[in-house]
Structure 1
Amino acid sequence: MEVNRSVPPATVVPILVYPDVRAAVTFLTEAFGFVERTRIGASHRAQMAVGDDGAVIVADVGADRRAPAPGGTTHTVRVRVPDVDTAFARARDHGAVVVEAPVDREYGERDCTLEDPAGHRWQFAEVVADVAPEEFGCETVSPWPAYRSTGSG
């Protein structure tokens, strides 16, 4: 992949619309620990780093772009973190609305779901066990490259 210092280096970059870009950047920095990398205009957009290899673009309302409306969920952004309980406490303490407190899942993850002031849903997750999809009723169609067997059987 070519390098361009003007865009986040992640493969998938959600663009989330907020009524106030600067307030969103402040909240995402304080509550979630994201890092602002690029500011585009005073209140148009911001590119934010999420962990070691993730990114989010915070965009303003305009044209056909709208922030989430109360009473419905159109998306949830899942972010891997080293410690869900710490991420949960930080976000809650900075005003995130708790949708679901941390819980251990049968598929080997511990996660929680929070909502930011604009209504975007965020799910923070950490691995607590290595579980094959078949162990909880799923089917592996094509293994993720990092999990492909290197053996002959």
Structure 2
Amino acid sequence: MNDTTPAPQVWPTLRAGDARALIAFLVEAFGFEETAVYGEGDRVDHAQLSWPHGGGIMLGSVRDTPDDKWRLTPGSFGAYAVTDDPDALFARATAAGARVVQEPYDTDYGSREFAVRDPEDNLWSFGTYRGEPRKAAPAG
């Protein structure tokens, strides 16, 4: 990240049937860093997991209440994250129990990628593709 790159302001979010177990899995399998976890007992009201290359995700326990304004179905989440070594991360993830969707492969746009599912059935894709450069902001 360079000096002109803004800090992440978009945080993908998900809900989990067993949020504490999912957090432990995401840390072990993918290398997310547990930045904050709030809640009591098995319930997670809010958690922030940071991705070592920048950005991260937020998650919490599923709430089965009629007044839940942030209703998300566990297992319906999907994300792509950049990694410098997808082959090593694939080995780590599968050793931790991630279910393989696509083994590592090379894309026609120069990325090395793979896809797996976590214990809650969320889809995770990792690769070397960092996206296209941002367009310059129009002059003031």
SS of the aligned residue for 2:128 comes to strand
Determine the C-alpha separation between the residues in 1 that align with 2:27 and 2:77. Answer: 20
Corresponding residue number in structure 1 for 2:93: 91
How far the C-alpha of 1:65 sits from its partner, in A, is: 3.0
**Residue pairs, 1:18-33, within 5 angstroms:** 18-33=16-31
Post-superposition Cα deviations, 1:1-54, rounded to whole Å, max 9, x if no partner, equal xxxxxxxx5221111111011101100000000011011113222100012311
**Structure 2 unaligned blocks of 5 or more:** 1-6
**Residue pairs, 1:75-114, within 5 angstroms:** 75-114=77-116
Determine the C-alpha separation between the residues in 2 that align with 1:84 and 1:52. Answer: 13
SS of the aligned residue for 1:145 comes to coil
Identity %, equivalent residues? 32
Aligned residue type for 1:60: S
- Max radius of gyration: which structure? 1
How far the C-alpha of 1:75 sits from its partner, in A, is: 4.6
Post-superposition Cα deviations, 1:114-139, rounded to whole Å, max 9, x if no partner, equal 00000110001014xxxxxxxxxxxx
Retained in 2: the 8 A contact 1:104–1:110?
Answer: yes
Aligned residue type for 2:72: R
How many equivalent residue pairs?
119
Aligned residue type for 2:58: I
Retained in 2: the 8 A contact 1:34–1:50?
Answer: yes
* TM-score, reference length from structure 2: 0.78
> Which range moved further: 50-59 or 103-112?
50-59
2:74 to 67, 78, 87: 67
Aligned residue type for 1:114: V
**Structure 1 unaligned blocks of 5 or more:** 1-8, 69-73, 128-142, 149-153
Aligned residue type for 2:114: C
Determine the C-alpha separation between the residues in 2 that align with 1:53 and 1:33. Answer: 12
Relative to structure 1, is the Cα distance of residues 67 and 23 closer, same or farther in structure 2, using a 3 angstrom cutoff? same
After TM superposition, which residue ranges in structure 1, 4 or more long, deviate above 6 angstroms?
Answer: none
CA RMSD of aligned residues (A): 1.7
Which protein, 1 or 2, shows the higher relative CO under an 8 Å CA cutoff with sep ≥ 6?
2
Relative to structure 1, is the Cα distance of residues 75 and 58 closer, same or farther in structure 2, using a 3 angstrom cutoff? closer
2:38 to 37, 40, 46: 40
